[in-house]
Structure formats: structure tokens, C-alpha cells
Amino acid sequence: MYQDLIRNELNEAAETLANFLQDEANIHAIQRAAVLLADSFKAGGKVLSCGNGGSHCDAMHFAEETDRALS
């Protein structure tokens, strides 16, 4: 019943990700962010994440995953 809709949504997501991966600037930006985060933690610093609404859930999830990885 909803299989076509599900396939269409997943195909759109896959196409968006493929387009993102084709741009090397995106990969470099993620690497820069990762290095900044790692350098902050290595220097005894902290990283603050925040959001409002749905992005609040993303920020909280990021904080939980980061805390778990560093514990």
C-alpha cells in the first residue's frame, strides 16, 4: 500500500546523500569539524550543543553519543 511512497522517500534520501558525497568540500568541512572537536577535547575544553524543537533532539543525541564515546 505505501511501498511506492517508502521507496520514493528512500531513493530521494539516497540521491541527496550521493550528491553530498560528490562535493569534496563537504568531506573537508566534516573533517575540519571533527578536528576542531577532537582538539577541544584534547585540550580539556568542552563542546556545547543546543537546539530548539527537533534540533534539540539532535543536539541531545550528539551530546549523549559524544559523552558515551569519551567515557
- As a whole number of angstroms, the distance between CA 47 and CA 60 comes to 12
Q: What is the pLDDT of residues 19-61, one digit of tens each?
A: 999 999 999 999 999 999 999 999 999 999 999 999 999 999 9
Q: How far apart are CA 23 and CA 20, in angstroms?
A: 6
The total of structural domains in the chain comes to 1
Global pTM reads 0.74
Nearest C-alpha neighbor of 49 from the set 38, 64, 60: 60
| 17 has pLDDT over 90 | yes
Q: Which domain holds residue 20?
A: 3-70
